Amino acid sequence: MEYIFSLEFIYLIASVTYILGLKMLGHPETARRGNLIAAAGMTIAILGTIFLYQGEVPQLIYYLIAIAIIIGTIIGWVVAKKVGMTKMPELVSLFNGMGGASAALIGLIEFHHYIGDQLSIITIIAGMIIGSVSFSGSMIAWAKLNGTMNNPIRLPMYNILNNVFLIGILAFGAYIVFSGTESQLYLYLLFFAAITYGILFVLPIGGADMPVVISLLNSFTGLAAAFGGFLYGNMVMLTGGILVGSAGTILTLAMCKAMNRPLSNVIFGAFGEGAVAAGSSNTVLGSIKEASASDVAILMNYSRKVIIVPGYGLAVAQAQHIIHELEQLLESKGIDVKYAIHPVAGRMPGHMNVLLAETNVDYDKLVEMEDINPEFQSTDVVFVVGANDVVNPAAKNDPSSPIFGMPILDVENAKHIIVNKRSMKPGYAGIENELFYNQKTSMLFGDAKAALTKLVNELKNM
């Protein structure tokens, strides 16, 4: 009985729930349940730490812990309940930054407790540097995603500056470790240097690469948490950190592959809006054809197969519910409907999956890029809603294009292409989309929600 209620056993249970929850997050149908299971494991670990810890703890500490948990729970609950789907990437960045800050604070607090223990000091310094970079980088990512910082800022020779600054931080950290210094001044100088590097690291990055950056920073936070678990000999922190770090790294590599960008280029290269826009061309590629909601309704009504390509514009307009209604209406007419999901559509990995899952779209209808591309040739109508760069044929046929080589959805192979956009403004890459000038393409201008509502009403009258 004593073993059953031991802290080690509680941590084992929590670790198992993390692994199980992460496994279930791999499929939309089980993701919600997996998230709840992992959250339950975290709750068990927190309660176990509070009530089963064997050391002597002043009563005041328990009061402070209780207050922190109550405040954090209220803030987290309210923010998560009220956040809109378009703001979800910002929330992910914010929460991830808080995790990095926690890891950095552990290093600041515990440093003087482990003077003389070189292995522990290495762990503390590594966790503090990584956590600090993750915190400040995530805050800049948050500011970019919510529009506070709309344009990337590039210092002269920023790439060289960043790399030299990083080497300097690592060298300074190594000096603190191997010199055996007890200087708090050096520790705080290293802390603020890491904070500064996190800012410099994310500052030049444009919105086009934000999905990669979010994944990378998420892996940093996991790694920092794992260092904390190693320091304390805490299995549940170690397990959670390793899972988050490894999952974030795998996702980062997947995002890089989806954007045809090597990871080394993400970390050390010039990338983002500024980089691609510099080599882009915004010359008009021809004339466009504009269609009305009635025109599109007639075309869809006599189709056998329709593929919908969702993009960030769909999320901005909060049109996920009306697009689901359109899907159901078309299916009631005997039309086969699927959704084509590009890995980096939206502002974060899986953004479109989450958006459509909110409306209870059948998971089997969400088809990944590799599986849906062969189907476009047999598709009567492709309906692109708010997507841009992920359907730009220049990625395949224009070697001078900054997005050349990026895997895209082959929508140009369909018989008819309908593109819903507010205007002809370029996407994140800052270049014209030659798909819009294709002879098979018709533009349905307007806010996605308003345009889709008109389209649904037209179809209902047929």
CA 443 from chain centre, in angstroms, equals 29
Q: CA-CA distance, 347 to 219, in Å (whole number)? A: 17
Distances (CA, A) of 177 to 119, 125, 173: 9, 8, 6
Residues in the chain: 462
- E strand intervals along 297-423: 305-310, 336-341, 366-368, 381-385, 416-421
Nearest to 322 by CA among 364, 295, 359: 359
Nearest to 244 by CA among 368, 95, 363, 107: 95
Residue 115: CB partners within 8 Å, gap ≥ 6? 121, 180, 182
Active-site residues, by number, are 389
Residue located via tokens 């901005």: 316
Give the type of residue at 342: H
CA dihedral 21, 209, 130, 35 (to 10 degrees): -10
Which strand (E) or helix (H) includes residue 444? Answer: strand 441-445
Distances (CA, A) of 82 to 78, 79, 140, 220, 312: 6, 5, 22, 27, 19
Nearest to 427 by CA among 410, 402, 451: 402
**How many CB atoms are located within 10 Å of the residue 111 CB?**
23
**How many CB atoms are located within 10 Å of the residue 170 CB?**
13
Residue 431: CB partners within 8 Å, gap ≥ 6? 276, 277, 280, 281, 282, 389, 392, 394, 401, 402, 403
Structure tokens at 45: 């670990």
- How many secondary structure helices (H) and strands (E) does the chain include? 18, 6
